[in-house]
Structure 1
Amino acid sequence: MARVTAVAHRGDPYLARENTLASFASAIAAGADAVELDVRLTADGVPVVLHDPTLERLWGRRAAVGDLTADRLAALTGGGVPTLAAALAATAPVRTLIDLPERAPATALAAVAAARAAGADSRVYYCGDPGALRAVRAADPAAEIALTWKRTGRPRPSLLAELRPRWLNYRFGLVTREVVERAAAEGYEVAAWTVDSRRTMRRLVALGVTAITTNRIATLRAVLGPAPGG
């Protein structure tokens, strides 16, 4: 059976606020093989780690990230929203899955540049909006891509040819044995997100997925067994 990569969704959000350095550290300590994080761009072009377009849900501010400079964002959150550069330093012990939740090519290009500047190209890979992933592929022909897929129909052959993903990254309810076997026959690995129950984790492992993203990384680690070297 292929080894399954345990991916921590925004870190360890049940123990520490999502997409923060504390959350990433907690996930790594719990045995994550990779940390997934979301990237958005500030008004002055700094890639920062936050899923939502505004600060309202996590930080109690209605301000949009894209309307704030990096300095103002830091002031409003007490430094709680890390830059991508800081996040890549914090996640250096494991792989980092950069999620690009919006189509904006500028965000994708900034993320690729930050990974390159950090010397993290070999441990970073990308998922998110297909439009953003097109920008990633154009900026880095060698980038590893996990094509996020939320539909029952399979990805278009033209999109697959354009993006050349390693992974087909499915919402977990869409994963069947047929999906996994067809992907394998075509040379792709299957990842599933976001999976928090032990029963579903075990089902997906039995189907042959090779990566699972979860909010409960300690639970997934217990299902999969110790990490290599752990």
Structure 2
Amino acid sequence: MRTIAVFGHRGARGLAPENTIGGFAVARACGVTGVEFDVGLTADNFAVVHHDPRLNAAIARDAAGHYVGADAPLLRGLGFAQLAGYDVGRLRAGSEYAARYPDQVPCDGAAIPSLTAVLAALRELDLLIEVKTAPDRPADTATPAAMATAVIDVLRAADAIEHAVLFAFDWRVLREASAIEPTLRRCCLTEPDTVAQGGLWLDGADLGAFDGKIIQAVAATGAACWAPFHATLEEADVREAQSLGLLVLPWTVNAPEALDRMIGFGVDGIISDWPDRARLAVEHAGCRVAAPGFIAGVGRLIPEIGAPGGVEQKLP
């Protein structure tokens, strides 16, 4: 029976507040392989789990219960203790975000957690960790090197390297992580905008050298996985990526027809805001949801001796 990994996006964003301890518990209850979440750095260099460089105006409330505005502070402008004063457990009524996730059950009092706390809450589950840097807005986040170092330090302390994959749209993060911890598996995130602005996002990769093929450029980084936006993915792309040794993990696959399409294409895993839906779709297709430990079965990465341009090889 074919096995497909199911990952809850930002925990289980369609069901519970994103990137929160409670949301991760909901994802676990859905029977997922693992979860995807985002990491940023505070002013005092705590790695915290939050999607946006700034506090999100549709999510974050201050101690007085007021939602932050467009001038919300940057994560890197607040210490961890200051950040703990914000509540991210309820969507702002009337916001576009709330309209997209009408079934999300609020959890008042939920705080932005540290990466350390999240790893403790997710023991035994597989971890897809997106490092959030913004090469088009470099002042908004810490540097790729600082971000990669902070995340890897926490992963090492939790003995979680084996269960994790480091994700990034900004491929500089992946290069920095490779130098710090070569055995940490890496995944190239792509979407049309970042590919179109490859000079900013793809760490200097020249798509012309790969006949314009993003998949070839991904493989050349030594990444273990490729995570494209699902709507841009075609079956031939899946076959090509897999022939190059890449796992294909499309995001964010939510609608029933999109889930069926990705499963039919033969992807290795699915990242969804509704992991319960994704699990049912996988099982309805006659497949089995991969158990936690799926990531540990993906080949480790080590530098290939003498490889030109730092290209790496995957080892079983």
TM-score, length basis structure 2:
0.68
Range with bigger deviation, 144-153 or 44-53:
144-153
Change in 2 beyond 3 A, CA 1:194/1:228: closer
Unaligned runs of 5+ in 2: 61-66, 88-108, 135-142, 196-211, 293-316
What is the distance in 2 between the residues matched to 1:219 and 1:76?
31
Give the corresponding residue for 1:113: 153
- Determine which of 236, 247, 257 is the counterpart of 1:178: 236
Mapped contact 1:35–1:95 kept (Cα < 8 A)? yes
Mapped contact 1:171–1:193 kept (Cα < 8 A)? yes
Local SS of the residue matching 1:51: coil
Shift of 1:199: 1.2
What percent of counterpart residues are identical? 29
Decide which structure has greater helix share: 1
Alignment RMSD, CA only? 2.0
- Determine which of 129, 145, 162 is the counterpart of 1:122: 162
Q: Deviations over 1:170-222 (max 9, x none)?
A: 11012111101111221112110011011111111111110111001100011
Unaligned runs of 5+ in 1: none
User: Within the alignment, does 1:150 sit opposite 2:191 as a pair?
Assistant: yes
Range with bigger deviation, 17-26 or 187-196:
187-196
User: Within the alignment, does 1:141 sit opposite 2:142 as a pair?
Assistant: no
Give the corresponding residue for 1:218: 276
Change in 2 beyond 3 A, CA 1:71/1:229: closer
Mapped contact 1:2–1:210 kept (Cα < 8 A)? no
Shift of 1:20: 0.2
Shift of 1:101: 2.2
- Determine which of 188, 191, 194 is the counterpart of 2:246: 188
Local SS of the residue matching 1:194: coil
What is the distance in 2 between the residues matched to 1:156 and 1:170?
10
Give, as a single letter, the amino acid of the residue that structure 1 aligns with 2:214: P
User: Within the alignment, does 1:75 sit opposite 2:85 as a pair?
Assistant: yes
User: Within the alignment, does 1:34 sit opposite 2:34 as a pair?
Assistant: yes
Mapped contact 1:53–1:64 kept (Cα < 8 A)? yes
User: Within the alignment, does 1:94 sit opposite 2:125 as a pair?
Assistant: yes
What is the distance in 2 between the residues matched to 1:10 and 1:66?
20
